[in-house]
A = this chain, B = another copy of it.
C-alpha cells in the first residue's frame, strides 16, 4: 500500500548492489513492504538483501513471506542466523513454517531453538493440523483472580514485554482455567482501587485447542473480538489466537472452496509461485475423473443411436439442454456450499433447502423451457432448419429444459448436504462434478421425452 511508489527505487538499489544505501533505506519500510520487495527479486538476491535487515525486522519480514520463499531462504541460511531468526519469530507463525517443512528439516530447526522455545514449538506442533492449537501463541498475559486494577496494570507492565497482544489479558483460576477476559482499555479507564472482578467484562468466550479452524473463524465472526483465549481438554488456558491470523485463515478457506468449486484440488500456494507440475496434477486428476464420468454420456447416447440416426435434428439441441442443466446445478451448488461454509445453513436445514430449490428449479425450468420453445417454434425458418415436425421438437426441447433445470437445481443443492452427511467436504460437489452428473441424466430425460412425444412422427 505505502512504499509502493518507492518500489522501483529499491529495486534499482538491489540491481546496483548498493547494499549500504539499501540498508539505510530499509529503516523507512514496514516488514510487510520489505517482504513484498523480497518477493519481486530473485531468490539469490533476496537472500543477500535479507541479511541486511536488522535482527528483529528480519523475523517480522520473514513472517510475511510466502512459504516457498521462506523455505528457499532457510536453505541458503547459516545455522547461527537461522537459529536467531526462529527465536525471534512469533510462535504461531513459526509453527506454521515448521509444519510445512519436511520432518527432518523441522527436527534440525527445532534443535537450533533454545530449550524454552523448543518446548513451545513442540507443544504447538502437538495439536492436529488445522486445529485452533496450531494458530495460537502462548504469548499472553494472565493473572490470578484477586487483584485490584492498579495491581493488574502493574502486572501487565512487568510481564507485558514481547507479548503478541496486551489488548486483552486474562484472569485464571487455581486450575489455570480462564475466568475473565479483561480489556486493557477497561483497566486503563477503571478506578485503580477497584477490584478487577467487579468490573464489567462481558461474557468469556473461549475456543478448545482441538477445534477445527472453521470454528475459530466462526467464533471471531460472531463475537467481534480481536483476540480469543484457547483452552486445552481440561479447560486450562494454553494460548490466544489473534484476529490477524483469523483473517488469513478465512481467506485461505475461501480460496480452497473456490478452487474446489471450480473442479480441482485446492492449490495451497499462490498461483504464480505454485509449482506448475503440482498444479497440473491437482487439475488433471479431477479433469480425468470428470472425463471418465462424461464417458457415460457416450454410453447413454449409444443407447439412443438409432433414434439419433432417424432424427438428426435432435442432436442440435443436446449441448444447449445439458449445459442448461449444468448451469442451474452450478448455481445451486455454489449457493449451498457457501451457505454451509458460513453456517447460514446447517445439515438439518436440508429439507427446507430441498423445498426451496424444488420451487426455484420449477420456476427457472419453466422460464428456460418457454424461451427454448419460442426460439425453435417461432424461428422464421423453423420448418426449413428443423424439419416439418418442428413444433413437436420445440415441445421436446422445452419439456427437457424444465426437467434438466429441475434436476440440476436439486442435484446441485442436495449433493453438498449428502457429502457433509458422509463427513466429506461439501465443496467436493464442484460445479463440473454436478454438471457431469446432470449431463448424463439430461440426455436420458431428453431422449426419453423425444421417444414419447415424437413417436409416430419423427421416431
Q: Are A259 and B166 in contact (CB under 8 A)?
A: no
Q: Are B161 and A189 in contact (CB under 8 A)?
A: yes
- Counting chain B CB atoms within 10 Å of each CB, the highest count among A203, A305, A330, A342 belongs to A330
- Which among A17-25, A357-365, A448-456 touches the partner chain? A357-365
Kindly supply a per-residue 1/0 record for chain A positions 334-374, scoring 1 wherever the CB is within 8 Å of any chain B CB and 0 otherwise: 11111100101100010011001001100110011001100
Q: Are B188 and A153 in contact (CB under 8 A)?
A: yes
Is A99 located at the chain interface by the 8 A CB criterion?
A: no
- Which among A41-49, A102-110, A265-273 touches the partner chain? A265-273
Q: Are A334 and B264 in contact (CB under 8 A)?
A: yes
Kindly supply a per-residue 1/0 record for chain A positions 225-252, scoring 1 wherever the CB is within 8 Å of any chain B CB and 0 otherwise: 1100000000000000011101110110
Task: Please name all residues of chain B whose beta carbon is closer than 8 Å to the beta carbon of A368 when the two chains form the complex.
Answer: 284, 287-288, 291
Alpha-carbon distance between A318 and B165 when the two chains are bound, in angstroms: 60
- Which among A8-16, A70-78, A124-132, A309-317 touches the partner chain? A309-317
Task: Please name all residues of chain B whose beta carbon is closer than 8 Å to the beta carbon of A439 when the two chains form the complex.
Answer: 319, 323
Task: Please name all residues of chain B whose beta carbon is closer than 8 Å to the beta carbon of A316 when the two chains form the complex.
Answer: 297-298, 301-302, 305
With A259-B338, A331-B262 as contacts: A284 and B363 at CB distance below 8 Å:
yes
Q: Are B338 and A320 in contact (CB under 8 A)?
A: no
Kindly supply a per-residue 1/0 record for chain A positions 389-410, scoring 1 wherever the CB is within 8 Å of any chain B CB and 0 otherwise: 0000000000001000100000
Closest to A339 in B: B271
Task: Please name all residues of chain B whose beta carbon is closer than 8 Å to the beta carbon of A359 when the two chains form the complex.
Answer: 276
Closest to A203 in B: B30
- Which among A80-88, A172-180, A213-221 touches the partner chain? A213-221
With A223-B32, A226-B167, A320-B297 as contacts: A156 and B264 at CB distance below 8 Å:
no
Is A5 located at the chain interface by the 8 A CB criterion?
A: no
Is A333 located at the chain interface by the 8 A CB criterion?
A: yes
Task: Please name all residues of chain B whose beta carbon is closer than 8 Å to the beta carbon of A276 when the two chains form the complex.
Answer: 356, 359-360
Is A432 located at the chain interface by the 8 A CB criterion?
A: yes
Q: Are B331 and A286 in contact (CB under 8 A)?
A: yes
Task: Please name all residues of chain B whose beta carbon is closer than 8 Å to the beta carbon of A320 when the two chains form the complex.
Answer: 291, 294-295, 297-298
Task: Please name all residues of chain B whose beta carbon is closer than 8 Å to the beta carbon of A405 when the two chains form the complex.
Answer: 287
With A205-B2, A221-B247, A342-B255 as contacts: A262 and B184 at CB distance below 8 Å:
no
Minimum CB–CB distance for A104 against chain B, Å: 30
Task: Please name all residues of chain B whose beta carbon is closer than 8 Å to the beta carbon of A324 when the two chains form the complex.
Answer: 287, 290-291, 294
Task: Please name all residues of chain B whose beta carbon is closer than 8 Å to the beta carbon of A97 when the two chains form the complex.
Answer: none
Partner pick for A184 among B185, B317, B322, CB 8 A cutoff: B185
Closest to A412 in B: B262
Alpha-carbon distance between A160 and B292 when the two chains are bound, in angstroms: 65
Task: Please name all residues of chain B whose beta carbon is closer than 8 Å to the beta carbon of A371 when the two chains form the complex.
Answer: 288, 291-292
Partner pick for A330 among B167, B202, B431, CB 8 A cutoff: B431
Q: Are B221 and A248 in contact (CB under 8 A)?
A: yes
Is A423 located at the chain interface by the 8 A CB criterion?
A: no
Q: Are B247 and A246 in contact (CB under 8 A)?
A: yes
Closest to A314 in B: B315
Given A246-B247, A272-B353, 5 more A-B residue pairs with CB atoms under 8 Å apart are A225-B244, A251-B254, A271-B338, A272-B352, A297-B320
30 A-B pairs within 8 Å (CB atoms) are namely A28-B203, A153-B188, A156-B188, A156-B189, A165-B185, A167-B184, A224-B244, A226-B226, A254-B338, A258-B337, A261-B262, A263-B330, A263-B331, A264-B331, A270-B339, A271-B353, A283-B360, A284-B363, A286-B327, A286-B331, A287-B328, A287-B331, A288-B367, A294-B319, A295-B375, A298-B319, A308-B312, A312-B312, A319-B443, A323-B439
